[in-house]
Amino acid sequence: MQQVIMSNNSCQNGSTDPYSILSVCVYSFISTVGLVFNVTALAFFFNHTKSRSQTIVYMTNLAIADTLLILTLPMRIYYHLGFLGLPQWLCDGLGLVLKANMYGSIFLLTSISFDRCMAVSFPMSLPVQEGRRKAPVVCLGIWILTFGASLPIYLFGPSSGSHNNCFDNLPVYATQPVVVLPTLLLGFAFPLVIMLISSWGLVRSVQQSTVAQTKLVDSRKIYRMIATSLLIFLISFLPYHATLVLLSLKSYKTSCTVLTAYRYSLMVACLNTVLDPIAYYFTTDTFRRKVDIGAVQRMFPLNSQSSEVNGRSRGPRNS
């Protein structure tokens, strides 16, 4: 995404400072582990079309968005190793792809949470089930929205004017009030509210389920699944958007502390591409049965019911 230069040159980093070293390590970890995890997930999703539910449609698109984001990271590693002078069009283009796919991930995670809530809360409602079948259309709309909203900023935003600061510059929407407010509201606050409402609705449905009350379904595992999804969302994206709030305030725009916090929060946001495949494993029974990732299971012993199991607590499998 088009970027502008930071006004305080003392905030710039060299290839041997702690931030650049940490950036190389973190982005290398995300590139390696995240790519393996997401390619494995995509291989499963595309090879098991018979188990393709509405939730799997969202997860497939989420894995694609995460993979595209990961593919932008090698050039960031290259830059933080001290190789300056990258073409500005490349910096801007990779920034566009990263930010668009980050917000695509946010919207897709929100869609998964909402879809799961609808599947469990209204398993016998024909209008709800008909609406859920429009998952491919929803995904297409998300792709159009994220790239369509980002492209004008990339094309018509102010020029950064320097080739040496590439990925250390701030994005336009972090400094332009007319852009930052819609970004915060539509890109984070609204999805978070939807996830919270969906999680509450899912908990309420489980509590009212006669199957859960008879202990045929372990409701505690379902609660862990809900908590895990919300925790991943908040850990990944809350720090990033909190720094955007500070950067949107005039008094903080030249603060090196806030600018440094922005860079670190971006790394945390990118870490979501590693956490999402772990969420697939914990929330989809079919994925857990078919994909042999015993090492991950030993590292993360948390186990939870899938949306399919949740659906059986209220009616026929719909997710």
Distances (CA, A) of 226 to 209, 216, 288: 16, 19, 17
The confidence score (pLDDT) of residue 213 equals 55
Calculate mean pLDDT across residues 97-110: 92
Residue 220 reports pLDDT greater than 80: no
As a whole number of angstroms, the distance between CA 242 and CA 229 comes to 19
> What's the token pair of residue 160?
């950064």
Domain extent listing, the chain: 15-307
249 vs 73, more confident: 73
What integer best gives the mean pLDDT of the chain? 77
Residue 238 reports pLDDT greater than 80: yes
The confidence score (pLDDT) of residue 175 equals 63
The CATH superfamily holding the domain 15-307 is Rhodopsin 7-helix transmembrane proteins (1.20.1070.10)
The confidence score (pLDDT) of residue 14 equals 53
Residue 319 reports pLDDT greater than 90: no
Which residues lie below 8 Å from residue 302, measured CB to CB, with a gap of 6+?
A: 224, 228, 282
As a whole number of angstroms, the distance between CA 155 and CA 44 comes to 37
pLDDT digits (tens, 9 = 90+) for 188-202: 999 999 999 999 998
- Sign, CA dihedral 303-233-49-51, equals positive
pLDDT digits (tens, 9 = 90+) for 15-64: 557 778 898 999 999 999 999 999 988 988 888 666 567 888 898 999 99
Residue 140 reports pLDDT greater than 80: yes
Residue 143 reports pLDDT greater than 90: yes
Q: What single string gives the DSSP state of each residue in the chain? A: --EE--S-GGG---TTSHHHHHHHHHHHHIIIIIHHHHHHHHHHHHH-GGG--HHHHHHHHHHHHHHHHHTTHHHHHHHHTT-----HHHHHHHHHHHHHHHHHHHHHHHHHHHHHHHHHH-TT-HHHHHHHTTHHHHHHHHHHHHHHHHHHHHHHSPP---SSSGGGSEEGGGT-HHHHHHHHIIIIIHHHHHHHHHHHHHHHHHHH-HHHHTTSS-HHHHHHHHHHHHHHHHHHHHHHHHHHHHHHSGGGTT-HHHHHHHHHHHHHHHTHHHHHHHHHHHH-HHHHHHS--HHHHHH-------HHHHHHTTSS---
The confidence score (pLDDT) of residue 286 equals 53
pLDDT digits (tens, 9 = 90+) for 161-181: 455 577 777 766 666 777 788
Where b means 16+ CB within 10 Å and e means fewer, 261-280 reads bbbbbbbebbbbbbbbbbbb
pLDDT digits (tens, 9 = 90+) for 150-165: 787 776 655 544 555 7
Percent of the chain residues past pLDDT 70, beyond the cut: 69
Calculate mean pLDDT across residues 236-257: 79
The confidence score (pLDDT) of residue 149 equals 82
* pLDDT range class, residue 206, cuts 50, 70, 90: confident
Q: What is the pTM of this model?
A: 0.80
